[in-house]
Amino acid sequence: MRTEREYAVTFVIATIAILVIIGGYASFSGLASYSEPLSIEMAEKTFSRGDVFDVNVVLSPVTFMSDESIIVYVDGQAVGVVAIKKYLDDNRIGYGRELKSLGQNNAEIINLQAPLKVNLADHIILEYLGTGGHSLRVEFSRGDAAAQDVFGIV
């Protein structure tokens, strides 16, 4: 009876240890990362000219340089820029921060812990756009991730 209990306790501890090791490997190897670091969340695809452009750019938990920005394009024309670190600081959103030494230069790295939603209503005013279909593209200023969608104005 005592021996069976010792084997059961040993088995449970070993199983927990294996799960912790696999989980740690998955998180550091990128297996736990998001497939798309940048996406567009649009509840409606059609707007009238007097509407507020209630569309969000969703930034998944990623690591990026502190000077990184999101550039917003409508029909191929840049219409706005969101400095991510400034947006986080202005809205008092928490993030992780690392300082990496790269020879004589230092680089500040930002780590998002949760998805970040940035509303584009301040950057796109529908009154200035013509009726019909329009393309929306958002991308990182370094060009390593982008998302695009289409919307219409009636």
Q: pTM above 0.85?
A: no
Q: Where do the structural domains in the chain lie, given as residue ranges?
A: 1-32, 33-153
pLDDT in tens, 20-70: 666 654 444 343 445 678 999 998 999 998 898 999 999 988 888 888 999
Sign of CA dihedral 57, 61, 65, 66: positive
Pick the CATH number of 33-153 from 1.25.40, 2.30.30, 2.60.40, 1.10.20: 2.60.40
Say how far apart CA 28 and CA 37 lie, in whole Å: 16
